[in-house]
Every structure is written in C-alpha cells, then in structure tokens.
Structure 1
Amino acid sequence: MIKLGRDLGSCSRIGREYFFSERDLLDIWQAQRAMPTSSQGQAVNVKGFLSDVRLQRSLLSLSQKKRRGQ
C-alpha cells in the first residue's frame, strides 16, 4: 500500500511513518480499478481527482518556477 501511495503521490510522510487520508485511499483504489468499457467494447475515459498531497506538490512546483527574463 505504501509503494502504491508513493508512486501515485497519494500519501503523506512524516519521518518513517506514512499516512493516508480518505481521499488518498480513494485515489489509490481508483488507480487500481479496471478501465470501464462501453457497450461497444471501447474504453471510457474516467477522470480522477488530485489528492491533497498531489495538489499541494503541484501548486508548490508551479509557484517555484522562474519566469522568463528574470
């Protein structure tokens, strides 16, 4: 579970301990589900949502990017 959480960015780590929110567990569960198919046998696109940790990391990386010309 920890490996899946780390790979998906769906867990928090403090020291050697890993913590999972309800949203993190739902992200992991969604990632492990088989892709649903339509009645014609084509894969259906299902959008997930960002976990709190992934959202925080994305916002942090966006705020740390240097602008061109500076």
Structure 2
Amino acid sequence: MCLLVYVCEEEERELGRKQAPGACPYCGGKVEAVDGESRWRLWCMLICSKIKRKYFCTLCNRRLVLYM
C-alpha cells in the first residue's frame, strides 16, 4: 500500500470564476462561484476526473456551503 501512495497523484486546477446570486450570511459581501477540476492519476493513466463548484465570499474569504 505504501508503494501506491508514491505513484498516485492528484492535480487540481481552476476552470473559472463568476459572481453568484446572493450575499454572504456572515458579512453581507458578494458571493463568487469557483469551478475547479481535480484529476487522480496512477502513473500516467487517468483514474478519475471530477468538476466541482465551490462558493466563496469576496470580502471575508470564507467558503460557503449550500444546504438543500
């Protein structure tokens, strides 16, 4: 299992940013949506690729979580 840790790597990159509707519940600042992609590779072979959207406040830099 220790060998697998050294040959497996994760890459993350930002795809884009845009303003999201609403305001921060903590400080009232603008909310920004950030799209990011993470890739898991084993040697040079792609294992998994995910695109995620995260929300941040532009004033207090807190990560905001959406509950549905």
TM-score by length of 2: 0.25
Q: Tell me which protein shows more strand as a share of its residues.
A: 2
